[in-house]
Amino acid sequence: MRFVILAALMVTLASAFVLYSSNYDTRQLEVRVSEQERAIEKARGDIAVLKAERAHLARPERIEPLARAMGLAPASEQQLAVSPDAALSRVMATGSTTSQKRGD
Amino acid sequence: MERGASNSHVEHEAAGEVAAEPRSANGPLRTLIATVGVALFFMAIGAQLVRLALMGLGDSSISMSETVAQSFARPDIVDRNGRLLATDVEAYSLFADPARVIDRDEVIEKLALVFNDLDRTSLRKDLSDRTRRFVWVRRGLSPRVAQAVHDLGLPGLDFRRELRRAYPGGKLAGHLIGYVNIDNKGVSGIERYVDDVVGVESVQGATLAERPPVRLSIDIGVQHAVEAELQEAMKLYEAKGAAAIVMDVNSGEVLASASLPGVDPAFPNTSLEPGNLDKIAGSTFELGSVFKTLTVAMAIDAALVTPDTIVDVRKELSAGGFTIKDLHPLRRPLSVAEIFLHSSNVGAAMLAMQAGPQRFRDFLRQMQVLDPMRTEAGPIAPPQLPQRWGDIETMTIAYGHGIAVAPLQFAAAAASVVNGGRKVTPTFVKRPADSGVAVIPLIDTATSAKMRDLMRRNVAERVGTGKRAEVAGYQVGGKTGTAEMPGVGGYREKSVISSFLAAFPMDNPRYLVFVMIFEPQGTKASSGEVLASLNAAPTAGRVIGRVGPLLGILPTQAAAAGAPSVAFDARSGAKYETR
C-alpha cells in the first residue's frame, strides 16, 4: 500500500510537471499563433495597399498620356488581322507605302 | 511534581493502549478511502487532460464595455478582366477620451494645425463632456496625417485602425460604382448591391473581407476609351455633358457606362449635384429620333409595312393644336426605308398611327420601354409616360417626344431590335462563361434583319444621317437623334440632346454603342450645327474605332485593306502612326 501511495505521489508530481510544461508550451504556442496572425493580417493589409497602389498607377487615365508621349496610340482596327500571314503582308505593304512616301 | 509527571505518563500509556485498538481496526479503511480519493483525483485530472486534448480550449469571447463603432469589410470590385476598381485599405481613425484630455484648448488648437477644416465648437463641446470616454475626432486618416497627429503628443488622443474604401481608378465608372458611408457600408450603385446581395462582414478593427471579388461586366479599357472620347466631344462641341453605353447585344452585359461630368466615389457629395447626376440610368430624357428605330421596327414586325412600302409624307400632320413636320422635307412620297434614312417625323408618326395607339403602346411595353426596370446598381429611373395616350401622343412618341426614358432602358430595347429579336436584360455583373442567356423572342428575326439592314444603310449610304459614324471594316449601323430639350412653355430650339444609336458589326451585331451629347453648340467641328449627324455620329464612330480593337472585333479585311493608314516604321521598329 505504501508503494502505491508513493507511486501515486510520484505520478502526481510528474503529472503536475507535465501539466505545467504543457500549459507553458501552450501559452508559448498561443503567443506564436497570435504573432503569426498579426503578421498575416499586416501582410494582407500591405498587399491590399499595394494592390490599390498598383491599380492607381496602372489606371488608363495615367497610362494614356505616358504612352502617347512615347509615340504610341490606341490600337486601330487596321492593326487587327485574321492571321499572322495577313498581318505580315499588310505590314510589308504599308512599309513599302511608307518607303515610297519618303522617296527611299 | 515527579509524581505528577509519572501519573501523566501512565495516563498516556493507558490512553495509548485504548487508542491502539481502533487504529488497527480503521487503518486499512482510511488508507482505502485515501487511495480511492487520490485515484478519483487523478482520474478527474486525466479526464480533463483527455478532454482538453480532444476538444481544445473551446471558443473564448471577450466582452467590451466601451462603445465601438461598427464597420464593414467589403469584397473588392474588379472589372471583367480582374482589374481593380474598389478595395478596402487600412486607415487610421482618431478618437479622444475626454476624461484623459488635460487641456482642451491645447488639444483643439494643435489639432486645428493639422486639420484646417476642424469644427472647433463641436469638438470643444464633445471634449467638455467628461462622462464620455469615446469621441470620434476624424476618421479615415492617411498614415502621413496620422503621424502628424501622433507627433503632437497630446494626451487623451488615440488611434483606431479601420477599413476605408479606396477607388484606385478615381472617377472611372464613378456613377456605376456608387459609394459607401463613413462606416464602409454601401449606399448607392454597385456598392449597395454588394451589401444587399453579395454580403459584407461586420468587423471591429481592420480585418479584410475573405469574400471573392465582385466581377463587373465593365471593361476598364473600354470604359476609359469611351470616357476619353466623350471628354473630347464635350470640348469639340462645347457641350454641357455627355454619356455613352457600350453593351453586349446578346448577353446584355454593359462593358462601359459613362456619364460626364463624372463623379469620384471617394467624394460622394459631388454625385448629388444636379449637373453630375447619372445620365445613363439615373435620369430620363426625351430621346428624339433614335426612337424611330422602335417605331419602324413595330410597323415592320406587325406586317403593316415593308421597308419598300411607300408612304405619302408630303403633308404636315396636325392634331390637338400641334403641327408635325419634317426638318428637311423632301416633298415626295417616301419608302419606309427612306423615312428611316431621312429621319422623317411625319413618316414615323404615320406609321405609328397606322398601328394605332393601343398596338404601338403594347409594342413598346413588349420591348420593356414602358415599365420600371432595375439592374444590380439599383432601379433605373422609371419612364415618364403621357397621362393620356391618344393620337397626338402616339404621333409624338413615334419620333421620341412625349415620352422620357433612361438611356440604358432604351439601349436594352434597341439591342433586342438588332440581335435577332431576343429580349435583353441589361446587367453590370459579368455573366459566367457557361451561363446561357434565356432566349425570349420579342420581335421576329426577319424584322431584326430588316432593321439591321436599315441601320447599316443609314451609315453606309451617302444620304444616311449616320454616315460620319462609319469605321472602316466594322460595318457600323445606326440612327441619329436630335431632341430639343423641354423648357418653360415648350421646347428650347437651341438646347438639344444629340444622340447616336449604333451597333456593329451589322452582319452579326456584337455590341451596341449609344452616345449622347447634351446641349452641344454649333462649333467649327460640327459646321456650326447642333445636329446629331454632325456631332454624336462622328463621336460614336471614334468610340467604335477605339473600342472595337479592345473588344477583339476583327474588321472585315477587304474594307480594312482598302484603307491602309497604319505606317510601321521598320527602322525604328516602334512607331505606329494611326489616323
CATH superfamily of B221-562: DD-peptidase/beta-lactamase superfamily (3.40.710.10)
A5, A77, A91 member nearest B568 (Cβ): A91
Any residues with CB less than 8 A from the CB of B280 and at least 6 apart, and which?
A: B175, B243, B245, B257, B258, B259, B406, B407, B408
Report the candidate in B213, B222, B206 with the shortest Cα–Cα distance to residue B87: B213
Question: In sequence order, what are the beta bridge partners of B169?
Answer: none
Any residues with CB less than 8 A from the CB of B327 and at least 6 apart, and which?
A: B343, B345
* pLDDT recorded at residue B129: 85
Chain B positions in Cβ-Cβ contact with residue A86 (cut-off 8 Å):
557
Alpha helices in B161-306 (DSSP H): 174-177, 189-193, 220-236, 292-301
- Which sequence spans correspond to the domains of chain B? 71-215, 221-562
Residue B485, chain A, CB below 8 Å: the answer is: no
Question: In sequence order, what are the beta bridge partners of B487?
Answer: B490
- A63, A77, A88, A98: best to mutate for the B interface, most B CBs within 10 A: A77
Q: How far apart are the first and last CA of chain A?
A: 116
Say which residue the cell 405609328 belongs to: B352
* pLDDT recorded at residue A97: 54
Question: What's the rounded Cα separation, in Å, for the pair B147 and B428?
Answer: 40
Chain B positions in Cβ-Cβ contact with residue A79 (cut-off 8 Å):
549, 566, 576, 578
Q: Exposure pattern of B196-206 as b/e (b: 16+ CB <10 Å)?
A: eebebeebeeb
* pLDDT recorded at residue B7: 47
B83–A55 C-beta distance less than 8 A: yes
* pLDDT recorded at residue B160: 87
Question: What's the rounded Cα separation, in Å, for the pair B312 and B500?
Answer: 26
* pLDDT recorded at residue B52: 74
Residues 426-445 of B with CB under 8 A from A: none
Task: Say whether B188 is catalytic.
Answer: no
B88–A59 C-beta distance less than 8 A: no
Whether residue A1 has pLDDT greater than 80:
no
Which chain A residue is nearest to residue B562, measuring alpha carbons? A78
Q: How far is B548 from chain A (nearest CA, A)?
A: 7
Any residues with CB less than 8 A from the CB of B446 and at least 6 apart, and which?
A: none
For A41-92, how does the pLDDT look when each residue is reduced to its tens digit (9 = 90+)?
889 888 998 999 999 999 999 999 999 999 998 887 777 777 888 778 877 8
A45, A52, A77 member nearest B471 (Cβ): A77
A72, A77, A90 member nearest B548 (Cβ): A77
- B41, B52, B89: best to mutate for the A interface, most A CBs within 10 A: B89
A60–B84 C-beta distance less than 8 A: no
What class does CATH assign to B71-215?
alpha beta
pLDDT averaged per 10 residues in sequence order, chain B, 579 residues = 44 46 67 87 85 64 54 93 93 90 90 90 89 87 87 91 91 94 92 93 83 95 96 96 96 96 89 86 94 97 95 85 81 93 94 95 96 94 93 93 96 96 95 80 95 96 92 93 83 87 94 97 90 95 93 70 37 33
B169–A97 C-beta distance less than 8 A: no
* pLDDT recorded at residue B68: 57
* pLDDT recorded at residue B414: 97
For A10-42, how does the pLDDT look when each residue is reduced to its tens digit (9 = 90+)?
998 998 999 999 999 999 999 999 999 999 988
ipTM: 0.74
- B51, B62, B84: best to mutate for the A interface, most A CBs within 10 A: B84
Q: How many CB atoms lie within 10 A of CB B238?
A: 13
Lookup: cell for B223: 470604359
Q: How far is B126 from chain A (nearest CA, A)?
A: 32
B207, B566, B568 member nearest A76 (Cβ): B566
Task: Report helix, strand or coil for B441.
Answer: strand
B49, B169, B225 member nearest A55 (Cβ): B169
B567–A94 C-beta distance less than 8 A: yes
Residue A85, chain B, CB below 8 Å: the answer is: no
Whether residue A102 has pLDDT greater than 50:
no
* pLDDT recorded at residue A96: 56
Active-site hit among B257, B289, B343, B498: B289
* pLDDT recorded at residue B327: 77
Question: What's the rounded Cα separation, in Å, for the pair B556 and B548?
Answer: 12
